[in-house]
Chains A and B, each alone.
Chain A
């Protein structure tokens, strides 16, 4: 119940009331857990690439075994404040749209788990999901980037930009001394 209990607490926070017999609802749960694992909200499920992207059989089995608890969002597990913030940001960015969830979870798998670079990750994603349009994939990738914390290079670029703003402010103010 530990691992699935935490998954239920996430569904509760998302205000998502799944029906386990619904294919779409099970897909949303699979993708949500996979994405949140990538974002360092540890749930303890191992994912590997299947036909539709990252998939964890153990999670499906746990969902079926705990069907009543999952459908009624019954759990004693409490998320930490940091986890709650992460879950709410995830909801805001993805809007739980199954197509975007498929793109984001697959992109994260290639980028973070298989440690491919950005271009190779997008190439692998397109090869796995030829039915998704380029524009849909582009929006999905941009949503993925919104979810990821900035990397070292991006932080350096931001610092550089802010330094220039700081310098400009100091120069302008100095005219009034």
Chain B
């Protein structure tokens, strides 16, 4: 179990970062705006920014600024293939751990 855990990037093991990745994965190649994510996750802007910055640094999320109309520019985010792979790896490891735990507890 410990050996298998080494395959998982421990930096994504934060409920907030997992939620961000899960939401972005639901959108697939589509981008989600800063406002939608902070409102949808009920997360303060500063907290969101620190988590998303780490996910961007790890290459799991990409960010860009896009024009929405003549006045407005939006910051949007999308999950990268690396982000999807890291999330899947974590889910597999966690799934195995949960099954083992249930087995041990009868």
Residues of A within 8 A of B (CB): 22-24, 26, 30, 50-52, 55, 57, 60-61, 64, 98, 130-131
A51-B40, A130-B39 known; A61-B32 Cβ under 8 A: no
Enumerate chain B residues within 8 angstroms of A22, measured Cβ to Cβ: 66
Q: Contact at A131–B39, with CB atoms within 8 Å?
A: yes
Q: Contact at A52–B28, with CB atoms within 8 Å?
A: no
- Whose C-beta in chain A lies nearest to the C-beta of B66? A23
Q: Contact at A24–B68, with CB atoms within 8 Å?
A: yes
Enumerate chain A residues within 8 angstroms of B81, measured Cβ to Cβ: none
Query: In terms of DSSP, what is the predominant structure of the interface of chain B?
Result: mixed
* Any A CB within 8 A of the CB of B8: no
Q: Contact at B76–A23, with CB atoms within 8 Å?
A: yes
* Any A CB within 8 A of the CB of B69: yes
* Any A CB within 8 A of the CB of B37: yes
Question: How many residue pairs, one in A and one in B, have C-beta atoms under 8 Å apart?
Answer: 43
Residues of B within 8 A of A (CB): 23, 26-33, 35-37, 39-40, 66-69, 74, 76
Q: Considering the chains assembled together, what is the distance between the CA atoms of A1 and B98 in angstroms?
A: 41
Q: Considering the chains assembled together, what is the distance between the CA atoms of A52 and B34 in angstroms?
A: 12
- Whose C-beta in chain A lies nearest to the C-beta of B68? A24
Q: Considering the chains assembled together, what is the distance between the CA atoms of A44 and B69 in angstroms?
A: 30
Q: Which 4 A-B pairs have the closest CB atoms?
A: A51-B40, A57-B28, A51-B36, A23-B66
Enumerate chain A residues within 8 angstroms of B74, measured Cβ to Cβ: 23
* Smallest beta-carbon distance A97→chain B, Å: 10
**Which one of A30, A52, A64, A98 lies within 8 Å of B32 (CB-CB)?**
A52
